[in-house]
Structure 1
């Protein structure tokens, strides 16, 4: 949705976030009014100083007015301090609240949302776009209120002093207002284009930095640099538009302000020289200040309105995400007890894309404590079964049950708490090994981690690293080998003490030594637990209680290793002799 120059609906929604800070909001408004009054009062006092004391050579009265002007100046400085400080403080607290709400909202999205949403765009929304919303309060809304109040009060003082000189100023203002309005419309379009290009650039850079290994492996440095150059050029052009409009507007505004001042001085001077007692030297002194105080805020309102527009556009983008209803429906009312581990799929249908089914009516029963292996060609639907069991996606039809109860009836958190998954592609945070294992769960102690690590044989490996469990693995665990990352992921699953364990090709990309540790851990952790293994290596196949063979979204065979091999023809037998047997010979 395209943001308007000033979208009242979005603005009202932003103001909703000020409610917890109503006293501070009112305080900012109060000091905005005080600042405007004190700012306009100083030139008015100057008029009386010139006309009442300087022209009459009254030194004593002059001193008292100088003191009074100094007091007014202090009051103005005091008001400006609290106005600026509280306005920025309010903006940052609002941003904090919106950012927390946005991040919590994003945490609840289904995996399908992240399948389609560019990571760089989400980062832009969560960081720079939200920061722009803060500027609505710190540089936009309250500054505009303050400037408008200042202009109104200045006009009141001007008409009270000399209405004839004031009309010269009034006649010049519509010209500047029209120019300002045209400028605002142009800048709104320019800023919207800037935000679009920033999001595109963030998305591009995020993906290329994440996939830098692929870029370099396939010698695509020059190609990606050229692509980035095109995106960067569009970003550059978008900003140049804003520079162009600023370069045109502000000189024109200065010319109008200077010409108005010139006309006032000429007309006022002529009336003084002509003997008009209603126009004084104090008026001319004061009007030179008043015109600046009247026209400069009008100029600056255009700047502040730019900030408002930028913030409104950013708010519109953020609210689009907040309004996205793409969560897993966590309507279950039952807190899952400690699962026995009976799992059943009953005629389950599912597709990532509407009309394209990946799982085509499968039925599968897994008994408590049983270890099953799922095999099949790439794209057969093996990993999808795991995604559905964890409720990362909603099934299109059928039913999935654990311990005889539909998983939709359980609360989402209680299900996932009892299912541990070890993926082939391990993700580690830029944090210590300990925090990557516990994921900052206060229920898992250091003693639990060390005991578990010793039990599965990875304690020595961890202690061999600098700082042991406090070793920082950096972003995505780049300081560890793929096998080491896999061991950390396995220990992470183990210490959570799951009722159901899932290994999604967890040993497909590790060395023999690491695999031996994984096999030792598997034997330990699977005892008394239901385990589902997306099989890749032979050792995980032959030891399974049951092997499930999938092909093109269907379960085509089930049985033990021996039972499936005894069939004269079959998917598993062909797969075994074409892939697993070759692997077994290589390992001998």
Structure 2
């Protein structure tokens, strides 16, 4: 997948109008009965509208001309009943349509959200979060008008247009011909505008996505912005992106607005031709006044559906870009897929890398033909320079990524062949980037085991030595931590994350810089809890603070994508190689 930055326009694959409409309206299938009832009601409303001019013709030619008051009253009562029922039918259809449309949008948004959750880390690595949010929120909302107008405008108006055209030709062939003579010109013009307009709306949505992504990142890093007094700079960037979005919107709307003058002009020309020829027919007594009045009414009814259909066509063009952006995400296949989807048996803890090579997006190689085997219950520390591949190794064990070449085996089973949930549910992961949700401390820790009792959560917190500081908070375990845990210190957030990993009671434990932000006093307390946790399970510990991994069963020094050294702390110190240099440099620095 190509990388995309905040200010870079996204490249979206164009979908043909036909395919896009088929995919969009496939969401109507579960509501076929309701849609059918809505159409029946709308058709009734349409027929009432069609009958009114004809009933007016009868009133003029039959009852008014003969001064038949009784017949006129009965006709008026019939028209009132028909139109009253039409009003009720119209209101009912709008309410039903609103419910169907909202359910469809709910389904699309849920489907999109669930699909994004299944996508691998590479998808999120290459796309700003703000641009993903623009698809889930803004683009889905844009489809609401499309679904509502398709039923209220397109289908009923097409039927109205057909019926009115038939009635006009039935009443007078030449007058009808005069009314529709400009339709070919109108169709060609609108089709030409659509080609350009769609590209402009695509550009607008790209610019809006850029603004959304920038705003999301800006507010996420507000402490850095204020800390370095960069508010003025970010405001200028925001203004540039806002102007880009505004300009693209104005260009798109300006072209769309040309629809109405063209349709109105065509309507005016057609009406003038009908009047011009109709007057000559009246003078020669070839049509009655009632017929002329009815025909004028039908002329209005003929152009109204054309205007509404043009409006629907306009809506299609406006929202096609939103549909393309949604389906572009839905069509992305997850990089991490299970070949057989077998359930992972209870893990004993053997982990093996066989001839494993890995690179991100086919860039520089991070790991090169890596081979090692870890045995059940063994604690392995991964050390090495920044960027050497330590975190990549644990990400591959958790199958956040798949190897470029080679394989990862757990208990001699290639993890590509097992169900992801059954694999990861047996792992406890504490990543370097501590993340807390906008909830209570209790719920954040319980995330490691959703069915855990409060007592189990508290026990895990005590083991991680987080219980003491939690109890000193105003609401203890019910304290809200705010977004990303902003109410807590970095060290406190890491202790809560550690308690979450403890609660999961995993078969394989991964600690990525688990004590990097804990002070020395707290670290001593945590180390006892770590040792209890490490007992009886396979563990991988990444630590830049080498004093914390002295007791590891094996220390693997990763350098330039390979295992440079491997052994216990004492063995590696005697070797006086890379590990010795790293350890001594830290010791001298601390001293």
What's the TM-score, normalizing by structure 1?
Answer: 0.91
Residue 474 of structure 1: aligned partner: 482
Q: 1:46 aligns with which of 34, 47, 56?
A: 56
Is residue 463–residue 526 contact of structure 2 (8 Å, CA) maintained in 1? no
2:385 maps to 1:377? yes
> 1:581 offset after TM fit, Å?
4.6
The 1:462/1:244 distance shift into structure 2, 3 A limit, reads: same
Is residue 463–residue 499 contact of structure 2 (8 Å, CA) maintained in 1? no
> 1:417 offset after TM fit, Å?
0.8
- Cα-to-partner distance string for 1:234-283 (whole Å, 9 max, x where unaligned): 211121123323444324433443454455445434544x2615221x33
Residue 137 of structure 2: aligned partner: 127
The 1:539/1:458 distance shift into structure 2, 3 A limit, reads: same
Instruction: Provide the C-alpha distance between the structure 2 equivalents of 1:289 and 1:473, rounded to a whole number of angstroms.
Output: 66
2:463 maps to 1:449? no
> 1:571 offset after TM fit, Å?
0.4
Residue 168 of structure 1: aligned partner: 178
Instruction: Provide the C-alpha distance between the structure 1 equivalents of 2:291 and 2:448, rounded to a whole number of angstroms.
Output: 70
Is residue 564–residue 573 contact of structure 1 (8 Å, CA) maintained in 2? yes
> 1:467 offset after TM fit, Å?
3.0
> 1:175 offset after TM fit, Å?
4.1
The 1:229/1:551 distance shift into structure 2, 3 A limit, reads: same
Is residue 448–residue 500 contact of structure 2 (8 Å, CA) maintained in 1? no
* 1:191-340 pair list within 5 angstroms: 191-265=201-275, 267-269=277-279, 271-272=281-282, 274=283, 276=285, 278-280=287-289, 282-340=290-348
- Cα-to-partner distance string for 1:156-184 (whole Å, 9 max, x where unaligned): 22233344433331224444444433443
2:90 maps to 1:80? yes
The 1:577/1:246 distance shift into structure 2, 3 A limit, reads: same
Residue 581 of structure 2: aligned partner: 574
- Cα-to-partner distance string for 1:435-485 (whole Å, 9 max, x where unaligned): 222239542222321232234332232233333323222221112211111
> 1:384 offset after TM fit, Å?
0.6
The 1:369/1:439 distance shift into structure 2, 3 A limit, reads: same
Residue 113 of structure 1: aligned partner: 123
The 1:435/1:56 distance shift into structure 2, 3 A limit, reads: farther
2:541 maps to 1:533? yes
2:382 maps to 1:404? no
Runs of 4+ displaced beyond 6 Å: none
Greater alpha carbon shift after TM alignment, 510-519 vs 491-500: 510-519
The 1:172/1:336 distance shift into structure 2, 3 A limit, reads: closer
> 1:503 offset after TM fit, Å?
0.9
Is residue 3–residue 312 contact of structure 1 (8 Å, CA) maintained in 2? no
Instruction: Provide the C-alpha distance between the structure 2 equivalents of 1:489 and 1:501, rounded to a whole number of angstroms.
Output: 13
Instruction: Provide the C-alpha distance between the structure 2 equivalents of 1:479 and 1:57, rounded to a whole number of angstroms.
Output: 85
Greater alpha carbon shift after TM alignment, 20-29 vs 252-261: 252-261
The 1:339/1:175 distance shift into structure 2, 3 A limit, reads: closer
SS at match of 1:336: coil
- Cα-to-partner distance string for 1:210-246 (whole Å, 9 max, x where unaligned): 2333334444433333333222222111211233234
Instruction: Provide the C-alpha distance between the structure 2 equivalents of 1:409 and 1:252, rounded to a whole number of angstroms.
Output: 61
- Cα-to-partner distance string for 1:353-396 (whole Å, 9 max, x where unaligned): 32621111222232322222111110111101100100111112
Is residue 44–residue 157 contact of structure 1 (8 Å, CA) maintained in 2? no
Residue 508 of structure 1: aligned partner: 516
Is residue 158–residue 305 contact of structure 2 (8 Å, CA) maintained in 1? yes
SS at match of 1:165: helix
2:93 maps to 1:93? no
> 1:29 offset after TM fit, Å?
3.1
Instruction: Provide the C-alpha distance between the structure 1 equivalents of 2:152 and 2:14, rounded to a whole number of angstroms.
Output: 21
The 1:252/1:403 distance shift into structure 2, 3 A limit, reads: closer
The 1:81/1:516 distance shift into structure 2, 3 A limit, reads: farther
Is residue 345–residue 399 contact of structure 1 (8 Å, CA) maintained in 2? yes
Greater alpha carbon shift after TM alignment, 459-468 vs 416-425: 459-468
2:436 maps to 1:395? no
Instruction: Provide the C-alpha distance between the structure 2 equivalents of 1:52 and 1:178, rounded to a whole number of angstroms.
Output: 43
Instruction: Provide the C-alpha distance between the structure 2 equivalents of 1:277 and 1:333, rounded to a whole number of angstroms.
Output: 80
Instruction: Provide the C-alpha distance between the structure 1 equivalents of 2:287 and 2:273, rounded to a whole number of angstroms.
Output: 17
The 1:37/1:563 distance shift into structure 2, 3 A limit, reads: same
SS at match of 1:358: strand
> 1:401 offset after TM fit, Å?
2.2
Residue 74 of structure 2: aligned partner: 64
- Cα-to-partner distance string for 1:268-326 (whole Å, 9 max, x where unaligned): 34544x2615221x334333432222212212222211222233322222222222223
Q: Which runs of 5+ in 2 are unaligned?
A: 1-11
SS at match of 1:344: strand
- Aligned length, in residue pairs: 580
Instruction: Provide the C-alpha distance between the structure 1 equivalents of 2:85 and 2:45, rounded to a whole number of angstroms.
Output: 8
- Cα-to-partner distance string for 1:193-218 (whole Å, 9 max, x where unaligned): 22222222222222222233333444
What's the TM-score, normalizing by structure 2?
Answer: 0.91
The 1:219/1:191 distance shift into structure 2, 3 A limit, reads: same
